[in-house]
Amino acid sequence: MDAEQNKPKFDAMKKILAICLLFALNSYGQKKNAVTNNNNAASQQLNALKEKTLSMLDASYAADKKTALQIWDYAELGYKETKSAALHIQNLKEAGFSVETGVAGIPTAFVATYGSGSPVIGILAEYDALPGLAQEAVPEKKSIDGKTGGHGCGHHLFGTASVSAGIAIKKLIEEKKVTGTIKVYGCPAEEGGSGKVYMVREGFFKNVDAVIHWHPANQNRVIMTSFIANKSAKFRFNGIASHAAMSPENGRSALDAVEALNHMANMMREHIPQETRIHYVITNGGKAPNVVPDFAEVYYYVRHPKREVAVDVFDRITKAAEGAALGTGTKMSYEIVGGTHDLLINKTLAELMQENLAKTGGVSYTEEEKAFGKKIQASFIGNAPPIEDASTIKPLQIEADAGGGSSDVSDVSYVVPTVGLETATWIPGTSAHSWQAVACGGTEIGTKGMLVAAKTMALTAIDLFNKPAVIQKAKEEFVKGVGSYQYKPLLGDRKPALNYRD
């Protein structure tokens, strides 16, 4: 009965409830639509910004190519990159950057800055060449008279792409399209000189939110392979000179000591962790066979994916050097030349960069470039991959094999979240540090790959300026990766080895 009496009241309440529910749903829907619309508008804006940046980099390509080939021609060795650094500094200053030169006690190191406030995004630039690799830009081995340096690692492209990407970002900051600070780091002597380690040690990467880098290669991929730690030194032995035939008993050979050390190091190979790499060159082995050498020098690299192992094996090499001196009656001293960490990968940043690499694509060659490439490939030992591989992009994946290379970028990766890529600047199958790499780098085969790198780095930077949540996530991953480790340079507190190429 009561229910019957209350029915009209109940119906009215139901109506009110239904209206409220409808209203709530409607306003939720509107809010949701507004958010979606905002998101769409933001992503459209971001895409437009990226398109504009790609056009900017296409427009600066001719000038960038000229810069890269000029530095390819300078081919200056580690810490002697005076003209190469000056050219980059000039371009950055003309574009409006303020440039601090001679940083970390290195005349050819610089930091170029534009903008203010956060985020602070850094881009690394390298420009040193390798000794003994002078080569014409032709598809057969042809050295250049009177020249020693050659860009066998493509650092002439490296520096130029990084400066170009930095300048593109600077324009966006200037036009208030993005807010924050862009820094281009001029990093000398990557090849053995560990230039960046001094810049890290002296605090030049403090307060930087993320660092972007790249490296010339024979493929296109975001780097998910760690670089291996490396500790290097020059071991010097002093003996006693004497006539090698008339009074050998009065001599003590410094070269004997070098040979004894090398013999012990070579036997040691059987008793060290598998992935260790030990290599050496005799940088001074005496001057004449009829003079017992009173001075000899050997330059060693010791590498391993784990820096503790590299350091441990390095220490064993120094013990062997002491033993070699004792056994040959000579005196030994050594100078640590370089030391670099293993690379700390940042997956968050790598995923972001992969999206942008997919946008900028690989490299395609003209018929003339393909013919050049076929000749280059004909000089390889073993089979070469298809030339068309240069147009493909490797999927993002952590590769278990740590690869063989080392880089001072690794030290940066232990103080700032860091991400990098490789692009095809050399014909597929080409080894770094070879005459083939120098030859490709001196042509448009190299500069085309450089443009892909500049574009990918600039787009990744734009994302970082626009996505604080990604930076946050990258930082969390970084903190976890570093763990309780307190960064300590493997080369200790030595001053930059400015004369290591003498």
Residue at shortest CB range from Zn ion = 153
Tokens of 301: 């690299």
Q: Is the dihedral of CA 120, 213, 409, 479 positive or negative?
A: positive
Residue that has been written with the tokens 């071991």 in this structure: 235
Residue closer to Zn ion by CB (options 153, 416) is: 153
Q: Which residues contact 263 (CB under 8 A, 6 or more apart)?
A: none
Shortest gap between Cβ of 440 and Zn ion (angstroms)?
Answer: 14
3-class secondary structure, 61: helix
**Residue placing its CB nearer to Zn ion in the complex, 7 or 279:** 279
Cβ proximity to Zn ion: between 156 and 201 the closer is 156
The residue count for binding Zn ion (CB under 5 A) is: 1
Kindly provide the b/e burial profile for residues 427-437, where b requires at least 16 CB atoms within 10 angstroms of the residue's own CB. Answer: bbbbebebbbb
Three-state secondary structure call for residue 297: strand
Q: Which amino acid is at 270?
A: E
Restricted to residues 62-91, the positions that interact with Zn ion (CB under 5 A) are: none
Stretch near Zn ion under the rule CB under 5 A, chosen from 5-13, 78-86, 148-156, 474-482: 148-156
Say if CB 275 and CB 327 are below 8 A apart.
no
Q: Which is nearer to Zn ion, 384 or 409 (CB)?
A: 409
Cα–Cα–Cα angle for 406, 411, 415, nearest 5°?
150
Q: Backbone phi, then psi, for 50, in 5-degree steps?
A: -65, -45
Nearest-approach distance from CB 426 to Zn ion, in angstroms:
12
Stretch that binds Zn ion, among 80-88, 149-157, 164-172, 454-462 (CB under 5 A): 149-157
Stretch that binds Zn ion, among 151-159, 254-262, 332-340, 485-493 (CB under 5 A): 151-159
Choose the stretch contacting Zn ion; rule: CB under 5 A; options: 146-154, 314-322, 337-345, 362-370: 146-154
Provide, rounded to whole angstroms, the least separation between the CB of residue 93 and Zn ion.
26
Q: Between 60 and 407, name the residue whose CB sits nearer to Zn ion.
A: 407
Q: Which stretch binds Zn ion (CB under 5 A): 2-10, 92-100, 145-153, 226-234?
A: 145-153
Establish if 453 lies at the interface with Zn ion (CB under 5 A): no
Least Cβ distance, residue 285 to Zn ion (angstroms): 28
Q: Which secondary-structure segment (H or E) carries 123? A: strand 120-126
N-to-C CA span, the chain: 108
Q: How far is the CB of 419 from Zn ion (least distance, A)?
A: 17
- Could you tell me the smallest distance in angstroms from the CB atom of residue 191 to Zn ion? 6
153 binds Zn ion (CB under 5 A): yes
Nearer to Zn ion, 153 or 265 (CB): 153
Distance CA 187, CA 212 (A): 13
User: What minimum distance in Å lies between the beta carbon of 249 and Zn ion?
Assistant: 48
Cβ(303)–Cβ(276) under 8 Å?
yes
Provide the minimum distance between the beta carbon of 148 and Zn ion in the complex, in angstroms, as a whole number.
17
* Full DSSP string of 187-239: E--HHHH-HHHHHHHTTTTTT--EEEEEEEESS-EE--SPPPEEEEEEEEEE-
User: Whose Cβ is closer to Zn ion: residue 157's or residue 258's?
Assistant: 157
Residues 304-363 that bind Zn ion (CB under 5 A): none
Residue 133 makes contact with Zn ion by CB under 5 A: no
As a whole number of angstroms, the distance between CA 426 and CA 443 comes to: 10
Backbone CA torsion sign across 418, 209, 179, 170: negative
Q: Shortest approach of Zn ion to residue 190 CB, angstroms?
A: 6
Tokens of 91: 């371009």
Q: Which of residues 385 and 405 has its CB atom nearest to Zn ion in the complex?
A: 405
DSSP letter (8 states) at residue 64: H
- Nearer residue to Zn ion within complex by CB, 226 or 253: 226
- Point out which residues bind Zn ion (CB under 5 A): 153
